[in-house]
Structure 1
Amino acid sequence: MSKRVLIATDKPFAAEAVKGIRNVIEKAGYELVLLEKYTEKQQLLDAVADVDAAIIRSDIFDKDVFAAGKQLKIVVRAGAGYDNIDLDAATSHGVCAMNTPGQNANAVAELVFGLAVYAIRNFYNGTSGTELLGKKLGIHAYGNVGRNVARIAKGFGMDVYAFDPFLSAEAIEKEGVKAVKTVEELYTTCQYVSLHIPATAETKNSINYDLLSKLPKKALLLNTARKEVINEVEIVKFMEERTDFKYVTDIKPGNHDELVAKFADRYFSTPKKMGAQTSEANTNAGIAAANQIVDFFENGNERFKVNK
């Protein structure tokens, strides 16, 4: 009996991505099952009940979903972040959870600079802004996205710094980026800081008043990571005191309306998360997820497993 692979996406993949996924799945002799634009959790529970694998985007895979997926052996999040998957529930049900790191990296990195130019040109309000050339950019976490941000920043002629507690200074500096020893040093040194940290117990609310207070004058914070890493109460306090500071993000904060009301000329958020919203990233991540599922079943490859 062939494996059945579910694509469960309330926000569907592009048609080209679905076509690419189908090619990979059916070439392996598996069957593809589509659940797109679903509106009720029960639809997802019903769909997952008799499949061996699932590909998701921002869809919530919680303990109820894993309990319903009696045959489920693997779920792959098409993208880097995976906080929409209950990893403990996956483990307890014997399911391998994976992400597809790097597939969205260029798309997110390009958005960083779209947001940066928009902010430093005063949101295109007709007044005189500033340039990126010669400015210091701090990359907070030097993973796949961070590396792409550094590559593009060099093209703008920026002075690039990075902090990543999981990488050696040598690994960072061999790519022409200056490594700093502490997160505080990054924020003290750089006028612009781009966030690429995941939302973990250690990082949630870590971008707080004390850390932001170390930023130089006319600083800009760019957040294309996760909204949970920002201490939303304290960033309001900081922006009230530092009228030179700007904040732009592609993850709408919980206090978005307050930020707009108080700081409309220094704050911007996209209407929804936009980092991976390109046709190329959409297709790359979906096809990578399909290939990882086939490799898992055929060869036992768990390279991108994110649960224990």
Structure 2
Amino acid sequence: MKVLVATEKPFAAEAVKGIKEEIESAGNECVLLEKYADVSQLLDAVKDADAMIVRSDKVTPAVIDAAGKLKIVVRAGAGYDSIDTAYAKQKNIVVENTPGQNSNAVAELVFGLLVYAVRNFYNGKSGTELLGKKLGILAFGNVGRNVARIAKGFGMDIYAYDAYCPKSAIEDAGVKAVDSQEALFELCDIVSLHIPATAETKGSINHDLVGKMRKGGIVVNTARKEVIDEAGLLKLMEERPDLKYITDIKPDADADFAKFEGRYFSTPKKMGAQTAEANTNAGIAAARQINAFFATGDTRFQVNK
């Protein structure tokens, strides 16, 4: 089987080596398309591919239509909103992600951003500490659990809400479970977002919800840009000069947020999974999942069932 690794932004060299070795160990062929400048190159490369590994590359209906032999696409990472999963399902193409492989990298970034924020972006003025602060984790999946693990080392008071995770599972991890996301925002000094971008969550982090935070509140978004109601958050930050917003996803209204000097920070691009370890782990996991699919029909990580 031919496996196309199509990455506009390539994997690290070590990751590519591991992916290639894993694919070829099962007798499959690995073909690379790296740093492609135009979608036409992807459309051409995918024509005879049986499987495809992507990072943040867009897998649109046009790409799917060009891929006459394609049976499976694996997104090396947790989020898969760059793939038209519904259209892939229509075409009987399995779409998978690699959950958990980037979790520690994202969780560590949360605390890199937080220390930067509570120390006033290192502007020389006195800041605050994380010790004893109430941290709210919105969604207690792989990333949320890693955030909780690290927060314990900082001596934080940790709370979480997840509509799909039993309270008992949260409490078994040594974290206090709350009954709603509203309660989480009301209670906590800091809320870290780890929700996916779905019809239910898009725009849900809005003026009224964030406005429930206590004085000096901080929202950390290493999830998805789409979960933020940017207009509502901008309005709130005008009204509440005590609030801070930090993220690794530059908002559409980045220029507007930038006026809140000392209260807003965004990395130039999405940084959560940008570590050598996460890069390698996610890529090799994707290769293993493709091998398992062709060997036994394994679809345990399928997201478009």
How far apart are the structure 1 equivalents of 2:261 and 2:90?
46
Counterpart position of 2:20: 22
- In the alignment, which of 243, 261, 270 is matched to residue 264 of structure 1? 261
Measured on the aligned residues, the alpha-carbon RMSD in Å equals 0.5
SS at match of 1:263: coil
Partner of 2:277: 280
For residue 218 of structure 1, the aligned residue among 204, 216, 219 is 216
Structure 1 SS opposite 2:92: coil
What is the aligned-residue identity percentage? Answer: 66
Partner of 1:236: 234
For residue 305 of structure 1, the aligned residue among 298, 302, 305 is: 302
Q: How far is 1:21 from its partner?
A: 0.3
- In structure 1, what is the equivalent of residue 115 of structure 2? 117
1:144 aligns with 2:123: no
Once the two structures are superposed, residues 19-42 of structure 1 have per-residue CA deviations (whole angstroms, 9 ceiling, x without a partner) of 000010111111101000001111
Which residue in 1 is equivalent to 2:165? 167
Which AA in structure 2 matches 1:176? Answer: G
**Alpha-carbon separation, structure 2, partners of 1:186 and 1:265:** 24
In the alignment, structure 2 segments of 5+ residues that lack a partner are none
Q: Does residue 60 of structure 2 align to residue 62 of structure 1? A: yes
Look up the SS of the partner of 2:70 in the other structure: coil
- What is the one-letter code of the residue matched to 1:256? D
Measured in 2, the distance between the counterparts of 1:63 and 1:17 equals 28
d(CA) in 2 for partners of 1:265, 1:40:
39
- Find the aligned partners of 2:281 and 2:178 in 1 and give their Cα distance: 32
Separation (CA, whole Å) in 2 of partners of 1:283 and 1:148:
19
Please give the residue correspondences for 1:5-20 in structure 2 after superposition, counting only pairs within 5 Å.
Answer: 5-20=3-18
Letter in 1 for 2:233: I
Q: Offset of 1:120 from its aligned partner?
A: 0.4
Displacement of 1:231 after TM fit?
A: 0.4
Q: Runs in 1 of length 4+ with deviation above 3 angstroms?
A: none
The C-alpha deviation readout for 1:245-303, integer Å capped at 9, x for no partner, is 0000000000001111x202100000000000000000000000000000011011100
Separation in 2, partners of 1:204, 1:50: 36
Corresponding position of 2:90: 92
* Correspondence for 2:290: 293
CA distance in 2, matches of 1:285, 1:11: 14
Equivalent residue for 2:2?
Answer: 4
CA distance in 2, matches of 1:202, 1:304: 22
Letter in structure 2 aligned against 1:31: E
Residue 89 of structure 1: CA displacement? 1.0
Q: What secondary structure sits across from 1:138 in the alignment?
A: strand
1:8 maps to amino acid: A
TM-score, length-scaled by structure 1: 0.99
Rounded to whole Å, the distance in 2 between the matches of 1:86 and 1:279 is: 28
Gaps of 5+ in 1: none
> Secondary structure of the equivalent of 1:7?
strand
What secondary structure, in the 3-state scheme, does the structure 1 residue paired with 2:283 have? helix
- The whole-number CA distance in structure 2 between the counterparts of 1:70 and 1:160 is 49
C-alpha displacement at 1:184, in angstroms? 0.5
Q: Hey, what's the Cα distance between the residues in 1 that align with 2:262 and 2:147?
A: 25
- Per the alignment, residue 49 of structure 1 pairs with 47
Q: How many pairs does the alignment contain?
A: 305
Aligned residue for 1:40?
38
Q: 1: distance between equivalents of 2:165 and 2:275?
A: 29
TM-score normalized with structure 2 length: 0.99
